[in-house]
Amino acid sequence: MAFFRPGVSREAEVRYHADQEVGKSFPELLRKARAAEAELRRAQAAGVSTEELRVAARAFDMALTAALRAAEANQRATFGVRSYDDRIRRRKARATPKGAEWTDEVNRLRTLRERNRLTGLIRVPRPAGWVG
């Protein structure tokens, strides 16, 4: 008796290879995020103007977002090509050591980004004649 085992869809293969390519840039993007964070902390310690502090916080947010996207791509690629079509395979892949490692990294970066968005991004009042 033969069992029907569905193959991997073409869309899943394309997404898997795209995630592998995006994931390759993760170390560089993480390095840039750390540099942006160091710049933000330096600006906070120096007591620069509110506008300069906001610019540094936005740069840190954009660097964190790019690193987070690469980490999520690595996480999906680590789960395997079959996990793109099958939620059970995704769930099981999270339980593997490499899957848990990437899941923890993604959660850590998300938490860091949200903390920066809640406390680091300073609201700057609009100019008096601003219309928009």
Q: What is the pLDDT of residue 132?
A: 58
Q: Cα(92)–Cα(96) distance, rounded to whole angstroms?
A: 7
pLDDT in tens, 100-129: 999 999 999 999 999 999 988 877 777 777
The residue among 110, 119, 130 whose CA lies nearest residue 54 is 119
pLDDT tens-place string over residues 47-104: 899 889 999 999 999 999 999 999 999 999 999 999 999 999 999 999 999 999 999 9
Confidence band (pLDDT; 50, 70, 90) for 130? low
pTM strictly above 0.75 = yes
Between the CA of residue 24 and those of 11, 46, 66, 124, what are the distances in Å? 20, 35, 12, 36
> Domain ranges in the chain?
10-120
1, pLDDT greater than 60: no
